[in-house]
Amino acid sequence: MANPKTIKLIKLMSNTLTMEKIFSKIEEYGISIYNYTENNKLCGYELNTYTERGVNQILFLDFRHTERNPANPDDFIKILSEEIEDIDIDEEIELHRQMQDYKTVFSIRQSLEDFEDWKESLVQLVHKIESVNL
């Protein structure tokens, strides 16, 4: 019979390799991902993304007030999916259109298409991550 500590270590190593695969898939999409820590404890991730037209968007995956583990692939995918689902395109456009430079470069239609495409690409990214051999 296998030692329970060995089984736990193998699971931990398996999760680490899987998280590496997930991060690799995210980086294939041109998204930078950074650990967010507090007091040397992993509390979440920051994903530095861009829309097709070059608008910088940060997604913060916050695990601090949840029962989820930031090193667990399933928990990571759940938090990422929830964060993407919560993106309010109208709110993003309203926020960006408060900047005169943005309004000069982007029409409302261009903004709408850009943010809709951005959100859809993130949804597709989650599908790709889910298809990674976990």
The answer to whether 63 touches 43, Cβ cutoff 8 Å, is yes
β-partners of residue 42 are: 37
The domain tally of the chain equals 1
pLDDT at 131: 82
Domain boundaries, position 53: 4-131
Q: What is the mean pLDDT of residues 70-96?
A: 96
Q: Residue 39: left if φ>0, alpha if ψ -120 to 50, beta else—which one? A: left
Question: Does an H or E element contain 45, and which?
Answer: strand 41-50
pLDDT grade, residue 34 (50/70/90)? very high
pLDDT digits (tens, 9 = 90+) for 96-119: 999 999 999 999 999 999 999 999
Percentage of residues of the chain with pLDDT beyond 90: 82
Question: Does position 6 have pLDDT exceeding 80, yes or no?
Answer: no
Residue 7 tokens, joined: 């089984």
- On the 0-12 / 13-18 / 19+ scale of CB atoms within 10 A, 73 is buried
pLDDT at 33: 97
The span from the CA of 132 to the CA of 126, in Å, is 10
Q: What is the mean pLDDT of residues 49-70?
A: 96
Residue with tokens 């982007």: 106
Q: What is the mean pLDDT of residues 7-13?
A: 51
pLDDT at 8: 52
Question: Does position 92 have pLDDT exceeding 60, yes or no?
Answer: yes
pLDDT at 70: 96
Rg (CA), the chain: 18
CA 75 to chain centre: 12
